[in-house]
């Protein structure tokens, strides 16, 4: 019997939506099931609402700097419910666009949880119907994982922060990854007293060490309390608040606790064992370079594969899959030199190798580094500095990494990423005329290596 669809996509997030639309544009009959809201993590409870909150929080810095630039700002005040409502409206608008774009591409949208029944069939739990498809794409993303400690259920996860009716006065965050750090910075600017507890010695493992140290110090200067080398042992309700015991024996109190200790792939209960789809120890679907799983008709893209958990990567993986399988245009995603940002304040962004990675992988390298006060602060009392760093292969002169911690870091690094991806040399950076006065010009005027 012929299959009803050429492609059945499970999960309408970044990767699934792109794959569905591109496959449909190649003439495939496509259906997509979503158990929550169309748009997925990025649009509903990730990148987009998070960035709106970050932007809201940075008005606090602008108000602080403004008097130095001649402004008088009397008693600025902040209204959380108003921000949340405005965010909700924008997210609903985007969700509608995602859904309409799918439907106008000819993709059948189904509001239901879907599980895999066999290599060519999916069951919709909303009405218990069975749908057949030649190919199945798992694009179910990931979810926040709570650490297994007594009282873990009393902690919030990042999803909850987007829905809070009221901001806590004090918040204890466990974690040192980008989500923990971003929420720490933004909530501190919205008036929350933030304590960050992290098991490592320095936040943001995997990023360049100089940038990590720079950001950690800037956060502390802003009044965020950072406790490193510690984990949470237990959480107890204490009136309306929480009492937290740390691994070093300390007991802390806060109105609320946020666990931002990591995310796990969404594969539980999907029926993967039934159809012979292999997963790794974290539950991620194992795929080859074309995103094909161990079962020939089943594919997976995005966070559920635990490669690089970023929206643009999920989108590319979905696009490459659809072009390869339905468009006779095979191509593969290159996961090297992907630019990444932490929307902390100050912002941190990177592309390519860190100094530590370059020393391990290349050996003979040169480091160019500068630190300066951005012009947006020089007329104010703020002492913050921007850090920029280039990692260069000493033999080939190729720029292996660009790291920025400061205002507009993400915007700067997105552009620098083009040069890094093209294999630009330090000499070519030097041959580029500076755009003055800008912060980014520092990247083309660094002349003396510091190491």
Q: Which residues participate in catalysis according to the annotation? A: 436
Please select the residue that binds ligand FAD; options are 310, 325, 338, 367, rule is CB under 6 A.
310
Q: How far apart are CA 219 and CA 200, in angstroms?
A: 16
Mask 127-146, x = binds ligand FAD (CB under 6 A)?
------------xxx-----
Residue of 173, 141, 136 whose CA lies nearest to 310: 141
Q: How far apart are CA 303 and CA 143, in angstroms?
A: 9
3-state secondary structure of 290: coil
114 belongs to the binding site for ligand FAD (CB under 6 A)? yes
**Residue whose structure tokens are 């956060």:** 219
Q: Between 34 and 393, name the residue whose CB sits nearer to ligand FAD.
A: 34
C-alpha dist (Å) from residue 363 to 160, 360, 446: 44, 6, 21
Contacts of 164 (CB under 8 A, 6+ apart): 80, 84
Q: How far is the CB of 237 from ligand FAD (least distance, A)?
A: 25
270 belongs to the binding site for ligand FAD (CB under 6 A)? yes
Residues 36-65 that bind ligand FAD (CB under 6 A): 36, 40-42, 46-47, 50
Q: Between 181 and 218, name the residue whose CB sits nearer to ligand FAD.
A: 181
Q: Between 283 and 449, name the residue whose CB sits nearer to ligand FAD.
A: 283
302 belongs to the binding site for ligand FAD (CB under 6 A)? yes
Please select the residue that binds ligand FAD; options are 7, 9, 12, 351, rule is CB under 6 A.
12
Q: How far apart are CA 25 and CA 6, in angstroms?
A: 13
314 belongs to the binding site for ligand FAD (CB under 6 A)? yes
Residue of 43, 10, 7 whose CA lies nearest to 301: 10
Please select the residue that binds ligand FAD; options are 5, 15, 54, 368, rule is CB under 6 A.
15
C-alpha dist (Å) from residue 2 to 132, 133, 188, 259: 8, 9, 57, 47
330 near 323, Cβ under 8 Å? yes
Please select the residue that binds ligand FAD; options are 8, 13, 277, 404, rule is CB under 6 A.
13
Q: Which helix (H) or strand (E) holds 237?
A: strand 232-238
306 belongs to the binding site for ligand FAD (CB under 6 A)? no
**Residue whose structure tokens are 């989500």:** 179
Q: How far is the CB of 333 from ligand FAD (least distance, A)?
A: 13
Q: How far apart are CA 232 and CA 248, in angstroms?
A: 9
Residues 322-351 that bind ligand FAD (CB under 6 A): 343
How many other C-beta atoms are found inside a 10 Å radius of the C-beta of residue 124? 19
176 belongs to the binding site for ligand FAD (CB under 6 A)? no
Please select the residue that binds ligand FAD; options are 195, 216, 261, 311, rule is CB under 6 A.
311
291 belongs to the binding site for ligand FAD (CB under 6 A)? no
Please select the residue that binds ligand FAD; options are 61, 303, 393, 407, rule is CB under 6 A.
303
Please select the residue that binds ligand FAD; options are 158, 216, 350, 354, rule is CB under 6 A.
158
Q: Which two tokens stand for residue 103?
A: 């439907």
Contacts of 249 (CB under 8 A, 6+ apart): none
Q: How far apart are CA 363 and CA 365, in angstroms?
A: 6
Q: Between 141 and 352, name the residue whose CB sits nearer to ligand FAD.
A: 141
Q: Between 145 and 152, name the residue whose CB sits nearer to ligand FAD.
A: 145
180 belongs to the binding site for ligand FAD (CB under 6 A)? no
442 belongs to the binding site for ligand FAD (CB under 6 A)? no
Can you give the binding site for ligand FAD, defined by CB under 6 A?
A: 10-16, 33-36, 40-42, 46-47, 50, 113-114, 139-141, 158, 179, 266, 270, 302-304, 309-312, 314, 343
């Amino acid at each position: 019997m012929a299959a009803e669809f050429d492609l059945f996509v499970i999960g309408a997030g970044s990767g699934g939506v792109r794959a569905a639309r591109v496959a449909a544009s190649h003439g495939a009959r496509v259906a997509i099931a979503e158990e929550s809201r169309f748009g997925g993590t990025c649009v509903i409870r990730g990148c987009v609402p998070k960035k709106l909150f970050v932007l809201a929080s940075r008005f606090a810095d602008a108000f602080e700097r403004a008097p130095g630039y001649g402004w008088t700002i009397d008693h600025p005040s902040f209204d959380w419910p108003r921000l949340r409502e405005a965010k909700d409206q924008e997210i609903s608008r985007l969700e509608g666009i995602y859904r309409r774009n799918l439907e106008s591409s000819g993709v059948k949208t189904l509001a239901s949880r879907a599980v895999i029944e066999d290599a060519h069939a999916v069951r919709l739990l909303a009405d218990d119907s069975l749908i057949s498809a030649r190919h199945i794409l798992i694009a179910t993303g990931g979810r926040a994982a709570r650490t297994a400690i007594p009282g873990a259920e009393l902690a919030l996860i990042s999803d909850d922060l987007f829905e809070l009716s009221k901001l806590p006065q004090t918040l204890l965050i466990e974690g040192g990854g980008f989500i923990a750090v971003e929420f720490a910075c933004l909530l501190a600017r919205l008036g929350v007293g933030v304590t960050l507890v992290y098991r490592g010695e320095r936040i943001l493992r995997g990023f360049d060490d100089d940038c990590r140290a720079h950001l950690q110090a800037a956060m502390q200067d802003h009044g965020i309390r950072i406790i490193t080398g510690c984990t949470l042992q237990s959480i107890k309700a204490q009136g309306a608040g929480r009492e937290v015991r740390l691994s070093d024996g300390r007991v802390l109190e806060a109105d609320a606790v946020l666990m931002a200790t990591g995310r796990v792939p969404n594969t539980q209960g999907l029926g993967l064992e039934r159809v012979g789809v292999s997963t790794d120890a974290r539950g991620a679907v194992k795929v080859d370079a074309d995103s094909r799983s161990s079962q020939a008709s089943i594919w997976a893209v995005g966070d559920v594969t635990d490669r690089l958990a970023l929206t643009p990567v999920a989108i590319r993986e979905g696009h490459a899959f659809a072009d390869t399988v339905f468009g006779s245009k095979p191509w593969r995603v290159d996961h090297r030199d992907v630019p990444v940002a932490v929307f902390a304040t100050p912002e941190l962004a990177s592309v390519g190798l860190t100094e530590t990675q370059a020393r391990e992988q290349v050996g003979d390298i040169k480091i160019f580094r500068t630190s300066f006060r951005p012009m947006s602060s020089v007329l104010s009392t703020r002492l913050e500095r921007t850090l920029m760093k280039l990692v260069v292969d000493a033999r080939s002169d190729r720029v292996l990494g660009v790291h920025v911690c400061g205002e507009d870091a993400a915007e700067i690094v997105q552009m620098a990423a083009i040069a890094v991806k093209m294999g630009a040399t330090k000499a070519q950076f030097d041959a580029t005329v500076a755009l003055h006065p800008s912060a980014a010009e520092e990247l083309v005027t660094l002349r003396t290596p510091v190491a």
